[in-house]
C-alpha cells in the first residue's frame, strides 16, 4: 500500500537503521523434500517445539487462503517430534540443521555449530530413527563438535568427515560400526573436505566428496598441505565481550599458499561401498597426437603432464552410476581438460583392496592464446533424471566463439565439441534445474543488471539444433528485476524469489497449473515501515568513455534530488571491480549505507562496473589478465571524470570507496593522481598480489616468476595521489582472507612517503567481514565521520550529527 505521507512528513534514515538490518526483507521460503515421493512437499522446523513438519504446497495454500483443493496424498504431518531428539542424558538436542535419509526412515541432526572459515563449520551430528525415536551420536569425539560434514547416499548409507578422515556407516542401526575409508587425516592431510584455499576459491563450500546416483560409490578429493606455508595472526580477545584481551594473545596458524609458493597437492579417489575397493584416479597415459587431435591438444596434454604435482581439480561430477567427469587445470588456469573415468574399470593391485582407474580425455581448453583464464565453476548437470538410463548426456555452461557463456549440450561423456542450445550477446549465470530434457537457468538477460529465469529444451537423438538467442522465460524479461528460483525435484512446483528493485517477495508457482500461486513472503510489515522513510531515487545507465568502453552505472540519489544544477551534490563512488564480479544489480537496496548517505546526508552514491567484471562476455572480462588494477582503475577514473562534469555534481567533492578488491581498486584509483577524487576509503584491501592466495591470484596474474613486471605494476604504490587526496584505511586484525599484512604494508609506505592526515582503524579480532563485537556499525560510523569531516552535508541539508553520540565540530 503506497504511503499517504508527503516527503516532508517522512523520516530520515539513521545509520543504525541503514546498516543494522532494519530494512532487511524476510526471504524465508520452503526447503523442498527430495525424499518424499509426492510433489510439492517441503520440510521445516517449528521454532519453539523443534518438531520437523512435512507439508505440501496445496495444503499450505488451503490453510492460508481457504482456496483451492488439497492434492491427493497432500496435507501436513509432524514427521519428527523435537522432544524425541535427545542426547544420551535425555536432554533435547537444539539442532541447527537436518538431513533426511532417502527412505525417510532416519534423520541426521546437526548441533553445537562451531565456525571455522567462511563456509566450513564443525558440529555434533546425531542419527535419529524416526520409528523408534532413538538417537545416536556419530563420531569418536562425543564431547566436542568435530564433524565437518555428513551426507546420505541413495542407499541410506552415511558418509562423514571427522578430524580430516572419511568414514562410512552402512548399518545405521549401529553407528559405532563405522568403516574408516581413510586413516591418514591430520593437520596437513584433508580427506573429503577442502582445505582453506579450495574452500574459498574453488568450491565455495565445505564438502569434497560426492555419492554416485545409485548410492554405491563415493568419490572424494584428498589434499596434502605438507608443503604449504603457514600464515599466523593473533587473537587478542577470543570472547564476544569487549575489553577481555588475553595477557598473551592466542595465535591462529593457517596453511595459506601465496603466489609462487607450494600449493596443496590434490588427488581423486573412488570408494566402492559394496565391495570395499578404494581406487585412485590415474591421469590418462595416452596423449593427443597432432595428426588426430591438433597441435593445441598436444600442447594441453603436455602442459597437464608437466603440471601433475600442481594441477587444480575444479569440478567433480557423476554422469552415471559408474562414470564420472573431472575438470582439471594447470596451476595458473590457462590450460585444462575434462577427463572421464569409469569406476567399473578399476584395476586391483596385488592386495585386492586398492585399485587404479585410468581416465580418458574428453574435452580440452586453452586460454593462453587469448590472455584470459579458465573460470572455476561447477556447472555440469546430467540428464539422469530425464529417464536416460545408462546414458551419460549432460549440459554445461561454455563460452561460444564470441566469448559469451551459454548452455552447451553433450550427447555422451566422450563428446569433445559442444552443441550450443543458446547463443547471443548475453550470458547464462547458472543452470538451476534439469527435468524431462528441459534446462532451466538464470541469465543476465537481456542486460547485465537483471536476472531472469529462462529455459531451453535438450534435443533428442537426430534432432537438428538451432541455438536460441531469445529463450522462453518463466519471468517477465521486459521487467527490470532480479529473480532467483528453486525447483521441487519432482518438477512441477517452483519457488520464485523476487529480490528487487522493489520490495522482495517469495512465492510458489506451478508449471502445470498457471493459476496456482502460494504467497510465502510479501514483506507487508516492512512495506509499512519503509513507507515512513525517505527513499533514494534509483537509476541504471551506461557511461561510454572516450575509448568506447562502456561502464555500467547505478545511481542512488536523494529523495529531493534537484538535477537543474542549482544545487551541487557530493558524489561517493562505490566499486568492487574484481574479475567476473558484479556490483550494479537490480536487487533491493534500502538496507544499505547508501540509503543513509543519500536521503539523510544528501550525497549521491554511484556504483560502477568497468572492465574485468562479469556477464558481459570474455573480451570485456579477460582484458585485465596479467596486470590487475590497470584497466579497472582506468575505467573508474574516466567514468568519474564524466560524472564530475554533470551540472549537479560538486566537482571538489567526488570520492571513491570499496571493500576487499574494491578497497584495492580504490587505492589504485588514487594512485593515478588524476585529480578526480578528493578522497578515498579502502576497507580490507589487497596491497600486493604476492600477499594473496595462489588459486585466485595466479588465475589472473600467473606466478611472480612468469610475470614479475605485472606483479610490481599491480601493487599499490603510495605516491602524490595519496598526498593530494584524503585517505581512510580500515581492516580487521583477524582477516583470514585478505591478511592484515597488506594494511601493514600500506601503513609503512604511508609513513615512508610522509603522507600525513590519513585516517586508520584496525578492528581487533574481526575477520574479512569486520563484524566482531560491534565492529560492523562502528566501521560505517567511522567512514561517515570521515566524509562529514571532509565534505559536510550535501544537497539541501544543514548537517547535524544526531545519529551517533559523537559530534563533528
The three-state (H, E, C) secondary structure of 143-169, written as one string: CCCCEEEEEECCCCCEEEEECCEEEEE
Helix, coil or strand: residue 462: coil
Check residue 3 and give its pLDDT: 62
Active-site hit among 33, 660, 674, 725: 660
Contacts of 303 (CB under 8 A, 6+ apart): 330, 335
Strand partners, 554: 540, 607
Is 735 assigned a catalytic role?
Answer: yes
Check residue 387 and give its pLDDT: 44
Is 581 assigned a catalytic role?
Answer: no
Q: Measured in whole angstroms, how far is the alpha carbon of residue 608 from the centre of its chain?
A: 20
Is 660 assigned a catalytic role?
Answer: yes
Q: Is the backbone of residue 685 left (phi > 0), alpha (psi -120 to 50) or beta? A: beta
Contacts of 433 (CB under 8 A, 6+ apart): 439, 440, 485, 487, 491, 494
CB 408 within 8 A of CB 426: no
Q: Which three cell numbers stand for residue 386?
A: 530425464
Q: Is the dihedral of CA 219, 225, 227, 231 positive or negative?
A: positive
Check residue 328 and give its pLDDT: 97
Strand partners, 340: 325, 360
Nearest-angstrom CA–CA distance, 751 and 228:
32
Phi, psi of 73 (to 5 degrees): 85, -5
pTM (predicted TM-score): 0.95
Check residue 286 and give its pLDDT: 82
501 cis-preceded (ω within 30 degrees of 0): yes
Contacts of 351 (CB under 8 A, 6+ apart): none
Cα–Cα distances in angstroms (integers) from residue 599 to residues 15, 794, 796, in the given order:
11, 10, 10
Check residue 805 and give its pLDDT: 42
Nearest-angstrom CA–CA distance, 741 and 286:
45
Check residue 294 and give its pLDDT: 80
Q: Which three cell numbers stand for residue 366?
A: 586453452
Phi, psi of 452 (to 5 degrees): -125, 160
Nearest-angstrom CA–CA distance, 646 and 652:
12
Strand partners, 510: 493
Active-site hit among 735, 736, 765, 803: 735
Contacts of 650 (CB under 8 A, 6+ apart): 568, 569, 570, 571, 794
In this structure, are strands 569-575 and 604-609 parallel, antiparallel, or unpaired?
Answer: parallel
In this structure, are strands 537-544 and 517-521 parallel, antiparallel, or unpaired?
Answer: unpaired
Nearest-angstrom CA–CA distance, 201 and 386:
32
Phi, psi of 566 (to 5 degrees): -65, -30
In this structure, are strands 759-763 and 726-732 parallel, antiparallel, or unpaired?
Answer: parallel
- 15-22+537-791 belongs to which homologous superfamily? Alpha/Beta hydrolase fold, catalytic domain (3.40.50.1820)
pLDDT along the chain (809 residues), means of 10: 74 95 94 95 96 97 93 94 96 97 97 96 98 96 95 97 98 93 97 98 97 97 98 97 96 98 98 96 83 83 88 97 97 96 94 91 86 93 69 95 96 95 98 96 98 96 85 97 98 97 98 96 96 96 97 97 95 98 97 96 98 97 97 98 97 98 99 94 99 98 97 97 97 98 98 96 98 98 97 74 39
Nearest-angstrom CA–CA distance, 394 and 414:
11
Active-site hit among 559, 678, 768, 803: 768
Amino acid at each position: 500500500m503506497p504511503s499517504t505521507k508527503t516527503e516532508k512528513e517522512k523520516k530520515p534514515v539513521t545509520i543504525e537503521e541503514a546498516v543494522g538490518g532494519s530494512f532487511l526483507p524476510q526471504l524465508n521460503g520452503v526447503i523442498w523434500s527430495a525424499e518424499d515421493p509426492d510433489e510439492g512437499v517441503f520440510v521445516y522446523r517449528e521454532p519453539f517445539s523443534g518438531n520437523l513438519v512435512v507439508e505440501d504446497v496445496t495444503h499450505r495454500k488451503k490453510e492460508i487462503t481457504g482456496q483451492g483443493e488439497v492434492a491427493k496424498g497432500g496435507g501436513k504431518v509432524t514427521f519428527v517430534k523435537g522432544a524425541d531428539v535427545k542426547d544420551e542424558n535425555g536432554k533435547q538436542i537444539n539442532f541447527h540443521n537436518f538431513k533426511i535419509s532417502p527412505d525417510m526412515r532416519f534423520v541426521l541432526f546437526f548441533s553445537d555449530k562451531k565456525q571455522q572459515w567462511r563456509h566450513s563449520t564443525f558440529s555434533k551430528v546425531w542419527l535419529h530413527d524416526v520409528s523408534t525415536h532413538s538417537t545416536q551420536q556419530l563420531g569418536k569425539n562425543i564431547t566436542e563438535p568435530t564433524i565437518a560434514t555428513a551426507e546420505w547416499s541413495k542407499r541410506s548409507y552415511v558418509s562423514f568427515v571427522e578430524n580430516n578422515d572419511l568414514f562410512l556407516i552402512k548399518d545405521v542401526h549401529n553407528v559405532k560400526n563405522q568403516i574408516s575409508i581413510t586413516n591418514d587425516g591430520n593437520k596437513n592431510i584433508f580427506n573429503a573436505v577442502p582445505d582453506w584455499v579450495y574452500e574459498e576459491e574453488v568450491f565455495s563450500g565445505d564438502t569434497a566428496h560426492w555419492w554416485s546416483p545409485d548410492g554405491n560409490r563415493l568419490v572424494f578429493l584428498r589434499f596434502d598441505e605438507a608443503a604449504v606455508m603457514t600464515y599466523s595472526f593473533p587473537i587478542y580477545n577470543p570472547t564476544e565481550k569487549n575489553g577481555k584481551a588475553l595477557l598473551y594473545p592466542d595465535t591462529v596458524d593457517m596453511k595459506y599458499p601465496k603466489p609462487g609458493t607450494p600449493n596443496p597437492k590434490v588427488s581423486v579417489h573412488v570408494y566402492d561401498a559394496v565391495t570395499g575397493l578404494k581406487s585412485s584416479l590415474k591421469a590418462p597415459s595416452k596423449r593427443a597426437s597432432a595428426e588426430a587431435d591438433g597441435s593445441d591438444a598436444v600442447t594441453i596434454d603436455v602442459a597437464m603432464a608437466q603440471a601433475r604435482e600442481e594441477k587444480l581439480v575444479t569440478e567433480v561430477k557423476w554422469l552415471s552410476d559408474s562414470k564420472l567427469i573431472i575438470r582439471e587445470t594447470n596451476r595458473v588456469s590457462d590450460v585444462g581438460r575434462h577427463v572421464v573415468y569409469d569406476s567399473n574399470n578399476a584395476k586391483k593391485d596385488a592386495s585386492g583392496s586398492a585399485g587404479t582407474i585410468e581416465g580418458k580425455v574428453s574435452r580440452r581448453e586453452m586460454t593462453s592464446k587469448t590472455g584470459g583464464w579458465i573460470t572455476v565453476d561447477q556447472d555440469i548437470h546430467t540428464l539422469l533424471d530425464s529417464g536416460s538410463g545408462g546414458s551419460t548426456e549432460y549440459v554445461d555452461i561454455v563460452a561460444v566463439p564470441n566469448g559469451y557463456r551459454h548452455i552447451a549440450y553433450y550427447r555422451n561423456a566422450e563428446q569433445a565439441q559442444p552443441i550450443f542450445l543458446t547463443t547471443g550477446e548475453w550470458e547464462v549465470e547458472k543452470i538451476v534445474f534439469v527435468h524431462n530434457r528441459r534446462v532451466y537457468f538464470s541469465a543476465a538477460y537481456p542486460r547485465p543488471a537483471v536476472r531472469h529465469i529462462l529455459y531451453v529444451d535438450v534435443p533428442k537423438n537426430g534432432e537438428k539444433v538451432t541455438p536460441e538467442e531469445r529463450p522462453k522465460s518463466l519471468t517477465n524479461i521486459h521487467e527490470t528485476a532480479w529473480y532467483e528460483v528453486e525447483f521441487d525435484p519432482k518438477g512441477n512446483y517452483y519457488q520464485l524469489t523476487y529480490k528487487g528493485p522493489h520490495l522482495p517477495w517469495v512465492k510458489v508457482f506451478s508449471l502445470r497449473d498457471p493459476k496456482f500461486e502460494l504467497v510465502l513472503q510479501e514483506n507487508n510489515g516492512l512495506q509499512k515501515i519503509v513507507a515512513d522513510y525517505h527513499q533514494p531515487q534509483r537509476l541504471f545507465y551506461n557511461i561510454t568513455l572516450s575509448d568506447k568502453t562502456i561502464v555500467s552505472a547505478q545511481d542512488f540519489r536523494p529523495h529531493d534530488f534537484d538535477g537543474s544544477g542549482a544545487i551541487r551534490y557530493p558524489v561517493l563512488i562505490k566499486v568492487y571491480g574484481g574479475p567476473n564480479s558484479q556490483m550494479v544489480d537490480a536487487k533491493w537496496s534500502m538496507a544499505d549505507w547508501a540509503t543513509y548517505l543519500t536521503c539523510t546526508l544528501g550525497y549521491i552514491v554511484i556504483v560502477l562496473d568497468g572492465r574485468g567484471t562479469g556477464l558481459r562476455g570474455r573480451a570485456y572480462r579477460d582484458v585485465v589478465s596479467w596486470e590487475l588494477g590497470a584497466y579497472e582503475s582506468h575505467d573508474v577514473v574516466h567514468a568519474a571524470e564524466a560524472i564530475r562534469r554533470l551540472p549537479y555534481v560538486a566537482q571538489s567533492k567526488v570520492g571513491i570507496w570499496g571493500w576487499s578488491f574494491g578497497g584495492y581498486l580504490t587505492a589504485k584509483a588514487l594512485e593515478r593522481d588524476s585529480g578526480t577524487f578528493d578522497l578515498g576509503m579502502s576497507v580490507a584491501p589487497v596491497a600486493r598480489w604476492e600477499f594473496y592466495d595462489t588459486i585466485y591470484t595466479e588465475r589472473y596474474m600467473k606466478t611472480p616468476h612468469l610475470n614479475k613486471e605485472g606483479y610490481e605494476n599491480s601493487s599499490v604504490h603510495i605516491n602524490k595521489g595519496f598526498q593530494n587526496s584524503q585517505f581512510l584505511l580500515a581492516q580487521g586484525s583477524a582477516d583470514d582472507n585478505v591478511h592484515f599484512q597488506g594494511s601493514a604494508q600500506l601503513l609503512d609506505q604511508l609513513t615512508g612517503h610522509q603522507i600525513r592526515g590519513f585516517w586508520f582503524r584496525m578492528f581487533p579480532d574481526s575477520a574479512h567481514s569486520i563484524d566482531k563485537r560491534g565492529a560492523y556499525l562502528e566501521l560505517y560510523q567511522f567512514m561517515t565521520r570521515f566524509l562529514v569531516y571532509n565534505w559536510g552535508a550535501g544537497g539541501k541539508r544543514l548537517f547535524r550529527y544526531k545519529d551517533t553520540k559523537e559530534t563533528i565540530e
